[in-house]
């Protein structure tokens, strides 16, 4: 009887001690990311925004113009991401513009696991360029520049508003990489 009383008392004490609802801290989770459906629209020239280029992009994005002529962002609100575009007239400075594009891409080499480059040439519409695919925990996984070598120079870079984590952002980075390829392949200069 004495043992049963002790066991009951210990069970009661354990039960009361465990009723504290403090819980255990859990690791931070990552939200589920769904990429947009593949619906394509054309970003065409808008005389009010002085954008000297046009291209095709996913319909889930919208254009946010900046003050500078031809500058702006293609914003993907559901992904918390954007593609930032900077346009410059060549004005005899093609080598400097290309060097700047390489320097901006190689800034991500510090945290990158690797970088591949893909040459692009579409002579029918005078678009030639280079796409940088950056592997690893880079803040900008895909970048490119395109030019006609004499008048137009356009640079684009992806940005995701989240801590760089290649595993959890893989679907977004894959979507943006395909989107960057589509934009580069459909790019035309508006003269």
The predicted model scores a pTM of 0.78
Note whether 143 and 117 are within 8 A (CB): no
Euclidean distance between CA atoms 103 and 80, whole angstroms: 26
Higher pLDDT, 164 or 183: 183
Q: What pLDDT is attached to residue 190?
A: 86
The CATH architecture assigned to 48-189 reads 3-Layer(aba) Sandwich (3.40)
Q: What pLDDT is attached to residue 156?
A: 96
Note whether 135 and 114 are within 8 A (CB): yes
pLDDT at position 93 over 80: yes
Spans of all domains in the chain: 48-189
Phi, psi of 36 (to 5 degrees): -65, 155
Pairing mode, strands 127-136 and 142-147: antiparallel
């Amino acid at each position: 009887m004495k043992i049963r009383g002790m066991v009951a008392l210990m069970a009661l004490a354990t039960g009361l001690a465990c009723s504290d609802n403090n819980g255990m801290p859990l690791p931070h989770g990552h939200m589920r990311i769904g990429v947009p459906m593949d619906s394509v629209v054309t970003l065409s020239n808008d005389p009010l925004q002085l954008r000297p280029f046009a291209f095709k992009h996913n319909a889930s994005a919208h254009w946010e113009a900046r003050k500078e002529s031809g500058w702006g962002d293609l914003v993907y609100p559901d992904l918390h991401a954007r593609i930032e575009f900077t346009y410059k007239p060549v004005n005899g400075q093609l080598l400097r513009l290309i060097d700047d594009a390489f320097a901006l891409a190689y800034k991500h080499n510090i945290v990158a696991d690797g970088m591949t480059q893909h040459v692009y040439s579409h002579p029918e519409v005078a678009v030639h360029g280079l796409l940088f695919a950056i592997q690893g925990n880079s803040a900008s996984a895909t970048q490119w520049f395109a030019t006609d070598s004499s008048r137009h120079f356009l640079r684009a870079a992806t940005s995701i508003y989240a801590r760089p984590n290649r595993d959890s952002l893989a679907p977004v980075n894959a979507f943006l990489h395909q989107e960057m390829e589509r934009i580069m392949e459909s790019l035309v200069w508006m003269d």
